[in-house]
């Protein structure tokens, strides 16, 4: 049965292919031949090299293909719009006639070319292809059907075609020319040159070092801002020609183009374009929608072209170009990648030198304090603080301390200048050790040394320089607060983290100096959120107490304020503050032979000094005073103030019943409920 079905299917396939080959293929070939016969032009339109359009008035437009792009050659030299040219060529390639007849038959009907408007055509198109010229004359509109008469390039036939031909070929000059002045896209630009007029006659040249870096070559050797340079190039590329001046009306001296106010050059891949910007035309130009300033119209021309035109240049762009040496400069003081820093050293007058080093394998940092006459001391540094420090250095930029003051003070300072700006005894000196030379292109390890100076004659102002470069910048003095030469600032914020097998068994909080009890809570096994379910405090108090337990188990500092601890008071940035509370937290550590060892942490707290400020201190961990985290501040404040002043349930409202904890069959049989009685142990 299956064999018969297979044979039938094969037979049907043979019949189908035979039908296609002997019946449909001739029809397809015939349709292609018919379509080819309807086409006005042959394959010559695929390789057009030049195109000329003229009308009865003698106006001529010439377009030429030059090195892959189209140009207007007449009435003036200008890049052509590639989209407009593509539309014209596409129209010629697909042009079909509705009907056609031979010119030789006109005499038999008593007609001539003049009857079809072809003796003096409205439009004449001439194009060059493969070294040969082809001319097509476009005559009158037909009496019926709104079509056109055109004369074939060989002059033997008249075709009746759609009127869209005239609309496509007869595009106005404004549409045929490229709207923008420059044609080098920003990604291709390799250099930007800006030259101002006399007497300044300043020449600024910037080059692209890599995809991510620009640099000044003149008048100084300095880094340029990649974002500022590329934004400026995009703004220059957005300039358009507004009006073209007739050659007979062109006066280069009056237009200011013999000595242009600005000369702007973009250099690309084997091409260079230069715009000369002359005088303002004096015409009032209304601002664009949303533009903050009124824009002016200027005379302009391309350096290698004779045509003069006008262009509207936004005032912000003019300001940047006229002050390119400063506006396009990279305002960052240091050029390095934070990930390449392996160590750094900080120094300040009258303070011991502080070094921070990246540990082997890049796993963490350590601070090294070197005091004269004693061995170096090391402490673990906080990776987050170090990363923030390096990021602040990387973002350190030249700033105006006040409006009108210069950001870039000097590119060649004298010895007296350096002394006046405080560099004889810098307020801060930071040396970075880099693994790859200080930048994306660096290869060998190197060093960068930043100096920050403070002038006694200019309070509130700070100055910066890199020792291997001549430039001096004005900066904001905030960098001094962000880079203290104090080991405690970089110290690891995690003071301790109890292992999971080490439980907290009691917490006691008292006021100082009277030692009045605020609250106490204990459990022989462990203080957990579950074991607090029957504590005689409010539900909110239980939640806060559970949070405090976690804060004590994993004790973190927000910031360290003093290097030593004293039980009398806390040294804070605003001065000494008395201790207000004492918290005693006991933990049970498993010992050898099944014995347990108790350890008690004593934490002293100040009063809450602000919305987010409270200090704590302890003799443990080498003796530290630190600012507590927001979570611990909220917990202590709630337990010492909110719970103390909680009015309890509203009148006539029953107090909430304590929630009985669920019994755990695996729990030890001797587990006493916690006691948490405010004011009593």
Please write the tens of the pLDDT for every residue from 393-451: 999 999 876 666 678 888 889 999 999 899 999 999 999 999 875 554 445 568 999 99
338 or 443: which leads in pLDDT:
338
Burial label, 171 (beta-carbon count in 10 A; 0-12, 13-18, 19+): middle
Considering the domain 495-642 in this protein, what is its CATH number?
Answer: 2.60.40
Q: Percentage of the chain surpassing pLDDT 90?
A: 41
pLDDT for res 290: 56
CA 581 to CA 636: how far, in whole Å? 9
Burial label, 268 (beta-carbon count in 10 A; 0-12, 13-18, 19+): middle
Q: Is the pLDDT of residue 142 over 70?
A: yes
Q: Is the pLDDT of residue 662 over 50?
A: no
Query: 374: pLDDT confidence band, cut at 50, 70 and 90?
Result: confident
Burial label, 126 (beta-carbon count in 10 A; 0-12, 13-18, 19+): middle
CA 496 to CA 504: how far, in whole Å? 13
Ordered by start, the domain boundaries in the chain are 1-35, 43-176, 191-327, 338-490, 495-642
pLDDT for res 215: 94
Q: What angle, rounded to 10 degrees, do the helices at 315-322 and 226-237 form?
A: 130
Tell me, yes or no, if the two domains 338-490 and 495-642 fold the same way. yes
pLDDT for res 594: 63
pLDDT for res 370: 78
609 or 405: which leads in pLDDT:
609
- Range in 7-21, 304-318, 365-379, 467-481 the model is least confident about: 7-21
Overall fold of domain 338-490:
Immunoglobulin-like (2.60.40)
pLDDT for res 558: 93
In the predicted model, what is the mean pLDDT of the chain?
A: 84
Reading the block at residue 180, the tokens are: 């923008």
pLDDT single digits (tens) 541-580:
788 888 888 999 999 999 998 878 999 999 888 889 999 9
What's the whole-number mean pLDDT along residues 110-139? Answer: 90
Query: 673: pLDDT confidence band, cut at 50, 70 and 90?
Result: very low
pLDDT for res 263: 95
pLDDT for res 146: 81
Dihedral of alpha carbons 497, 390, 364, 572, sign: negative
Distances (CA, A) of 592 to 407, 476, 524, 525, 595: 67, 58, 19, 18, 6
pLDDT for res 440: 47
Residue 209 carries which DSSP code? E
CA 195 to CA 205: how far, in whole Å? 9
Helix, coil or strand: residue 487: helix
CA 630 to CA 419: how far, in whole Å? 44
Residues 176 and 61: beta-carbon distance below 8 Å:
yes
What's the whole-number mean pLDDT along residues 245-256? Answer: 87
- Range in 513-527, 543-557, 594-608, 634-648 the model is least confident about: 634-648
Residues 160 and 144: beta-carbon distance below 8 Å:
no
Cis, peptide link before residue 513, omega less than 30° from 0 = yes
Residues 285 and 240: beta-carbon distance below 8 Å:
no
Q: Percentage of the chain surpassing pLDDT 70?
A: 86
Q: How far is CA 309 from the centre of its chain?
A: 36
Q: Is the pLDDT of residue 34 over 60?
A: no
pLDDT for res 21: 66
């Amino acid at each position: 049965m299956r064999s018969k079905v297979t044979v039938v299917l094969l037979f049907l396939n043979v019949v189908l292919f035979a039908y296609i080959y002997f019946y449909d293929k001739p029809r397809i070939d015939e349709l292609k031949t018919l379509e080819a016969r309807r086409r006005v032009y042959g394959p010559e339109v695929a390789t057009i090299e030049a195109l000329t359009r003229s009308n009865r008035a003698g106006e001529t437009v010439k377009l030429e293909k030059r090195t892959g792009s189209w140009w207007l050659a007449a009435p003036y030299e200008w890049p052509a719009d590639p989209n407009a040219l593509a539309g014209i060529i596409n129209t010629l390639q697909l042009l079909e006639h509705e009907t056609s007849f031979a010119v030789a038959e006109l005499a038999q009907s008593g007609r001539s070319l003049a009857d079809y408007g072809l003796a003096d055509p409205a439009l004449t198109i001439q194009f060059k292809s493969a070294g040969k010229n082809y001319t097509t004359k476009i005559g009158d509109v037909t009496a019926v059907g709104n079509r056109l008469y055109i004369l074939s390039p060989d002059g033997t036939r008249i075709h009746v075609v759609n009127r869209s031909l005239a609309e496509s070929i007869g595009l106005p000059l404004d549409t045929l020319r490229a709207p923008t002045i420059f044609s080098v896209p920003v990604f291709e630009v390799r250099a930007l040159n800006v030259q101002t007029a006399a007497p300044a006659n300043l020449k600024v040249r910037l080059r692209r070092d890599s995809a991510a870096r620009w640099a000044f070559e003149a008048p100084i050797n300095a880094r340029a801002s990649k974002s500022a340079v590329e934004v400026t190039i995009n703004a220059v590329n957005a300039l358009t020609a507004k009006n073209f001046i007739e050659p007979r009306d062109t006066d280069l001296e009056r237009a200011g183009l013999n000595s242009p106010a600005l000369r702007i050059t973009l250099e690309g891949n084997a091409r260079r374009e230069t715009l000369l910007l002359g005088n303002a035309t004096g015409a009032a130009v209304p601002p664009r929608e949303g533009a903050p300033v009124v824009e002016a119209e200027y005379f302009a021309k391309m350096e290698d072209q004779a045509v003069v035109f006008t262009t509207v240049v936004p005032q912000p762009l003019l300001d940047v170009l006229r002050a390119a040496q400063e506006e396009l400069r990279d305002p960052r003081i240091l050029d390095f990648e934070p990930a390449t820093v392996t160590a750094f050293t900080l120094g300040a007058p009258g303070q011991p030198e502080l070094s921070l080093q990246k540990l082997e394998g890049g796993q963490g940092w350590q601070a090294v304090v070197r005091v004269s006459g004693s061995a170096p001391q090391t402490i673990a540094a906080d990776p987050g603080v170090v990363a923030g420090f390096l990021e602040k250095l990387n973002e350190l930029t030249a700033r105006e301390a006040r409006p009108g003051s210069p950001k870039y003070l000097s590119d060649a300072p004298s010895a007296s200048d350096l002394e006046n700006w405080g560099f004889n005894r810098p307020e801060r000196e930071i040396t970075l050790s880099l693994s790859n030379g200080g930048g994306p292109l660096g290869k060998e390890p190197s060093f960068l040394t930043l100096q920050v100076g403070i002038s006694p004659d200019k309070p509130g102002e700070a100055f910066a320089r890199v020792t291997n470069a001549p430039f001096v910048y004005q900066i904001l003095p905030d960098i001094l607060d962000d880079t203290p030469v104090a080991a405690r600032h970089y110290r690891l914020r995690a003071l301790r983290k109890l292992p999971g097998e080490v439980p907290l068994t009691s917490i006691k909080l008292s006021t100082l100096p009277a030692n009045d009890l605020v609250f106490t809570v204990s459990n022989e096994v462990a203080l957990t959120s579950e074991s607090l379910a029957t504590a005689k405090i409010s539900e909110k108090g239980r939640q806060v107490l559970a949070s405090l337990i976690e804060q004590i188990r994993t004790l973190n500092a927000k910031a360290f304020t003093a290097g030593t601890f004293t039980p009398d008071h806390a040294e804070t940035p605003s001065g000494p503050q008395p201790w207000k509370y004492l918290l005693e937290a006991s933990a049970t550590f498993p010992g050898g032979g099944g014995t347990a060892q108790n350890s008690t942490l004593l934490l002293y707290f100040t009063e809450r000094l602000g919305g987010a400020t409270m200090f704590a201190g302890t003799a443990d961990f080498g003796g530290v005073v630190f600012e507590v985290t927001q979570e611990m501040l909220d917990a202590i404040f709630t337990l010492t103030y909110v719970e103390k002043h909680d009015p309890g349930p509203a009148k006539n409202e029953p107090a909430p019943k304590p929630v009985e904890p669920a019994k755990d069959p695996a729990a030890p049989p001797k587990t006493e409920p916690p006691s948490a009685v405010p004011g009593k142990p």
